[in-house]
Structure 1
Amino acid sequence: MKIALLQLNVTDDPVANLEVTLKFVREAAAAGARFVLTPEVTNCVSTSRKHQQMVLQHEEHDITLAALSKEAQALGIWMLIGSLGLKTNDSDQRFANRSFVINPDGEIVAKYDKIHMFDVDVTPEETWRESEGYRPGTKAVVAQTPFAPIGLTICYDVRFPKLHAALANAGARILTVPAAFSPVTGAAHWHTLLKARAIETGCYVLAPAQTGVHASTDHKMRQTYGHSLVVTPWGEVQMDAGEAPGVYMTDLDMGEVSKARGRVPSLENARPFDGP
């Protein structure tokens, strides 16, 4: 099956971002992709909560979700919208970081709210408190598709192996990790973490990513690592998109999942234990 990972350099303007994303989606479908994946926060990258309150929408009114769902239907493709920043009805006004799987009829077949919040001190100059602006999800999700069950995760989730093992044990044969990864942690950990999740579960890992310096109107700009990856169930990097925005195509052979799990059946061999 031919797939396409979109590597984006999103700004803080959802309208402008949507134009670029639609262009890439159409390019991918024209090249034969049947499954197209976008990165985390496809609609808006911003470090300003005030700006996000101005430009983000609730799910039912989000222009990116509506347009990409319509485009999936028009092109007859499956799509992962890696995530969208969305308003919620929470009393503290925190947003949701939500991933969507869209079928070729333009219907939402699954959605997932990012569970693990990026609350870290990467360096003295680079600190993040994602939980201040986004509320964490609580439910793991496997999306059912004709080509494979897909376990949904987002970015920082990649550091939590138990989530991915639970998804694989629930039937997932593909794991998606759309991301907007820090350049510092990306250079140190991105490839290793994605390869580890593939090896542990015997799943394909598909990780479309944001890249580059993200333009903003009146607040601190953000930079992301890029390197959208496809990792095989044996832990080999099948595709690395580097740092340039664009459409990156490859083929999946779902038979590789059974082959890898047959060689090292770690999911079956896992045992409960006491302690420490």
Structure 2
Amino acid sequence: MPELPEVEALARFLTERAVGRVVARVDVAAINVLKTYDPPVTSLGGLEITAATRRGKFLDLDVSGLHLVIHLARAGWLRWKESLPAVPPRPGKGPLALRVHLDDGSGFDLTEAGTQKRLAVYVVPDVEQVPGIARLGPEPLAAEFTVDALAGILQAAGKAQVKGVLRDQSVVAGIGNAYSDEVLHAARLSPFKPASNLTSEEVLRLHAVIREVLEDAVGRSVGLAAGELKAEKKTGLRVHGRTGEACPVCGDTVAEVSFADRSLQYCPTCQTGGQKLADRRLSKLLR
């Protein structure tokens, strides 16, 4: 799933390539991707893209006062093309969900792999009309995201596991499954530790690591072409998605906990005092 660094890089990429261009037309190949219908997506035609920004994991294109808001979900992606076919795509064929043509012939496709169709597109006059944006928590790279602000968030979360707190978009915006694993590994914290149990030193360390991990990922991603961002993300991850590999810090084997629709990775030596966490999926099978 694209998270804060990748969406930030996409926003800056589109700022260079799309801002200042006029939308020639929008082709919809999968009607289910549209989550709003008034104003219709066709109303973007003839309007100029004036800004491309990020809100959490949402991409926001300001199109002369209307906002084309995109949430790529788990398997969605934006594919930039210098030249798009003139013939409209056939609905329901392949991963293509929506195509945006610009006045110079370039544009981008929104695609989604897999069977779980969660890619979401909104056309709204006010971004706060998008439910996911309206309930976003603070941006972790914003000035107001201070150590005290994080401490308050963790105390309010009570006994909720710190991994889940970091992933909750209504609590902290933009951090997903992958970067929460990376942050907790760098902060030497168990993903299952109750949020309110963190010591002052651990909160301070967690705050610093959140900024370091995200700023480093943004730095590596910005300037890359849209098609290179997925590979860059995978290359930069130290524990997430690396089950069975050696931890780059201590050399222990990266372990995994699996759930119904996702998994987390961690280093037992760095994060849990050498203890292996129970695999939730395997535990259910053994009951």
TM-score range, shorter chain: under 0.3
Larger RCO of the pair (alpha carbons < 8 Å, separation 6+): 1
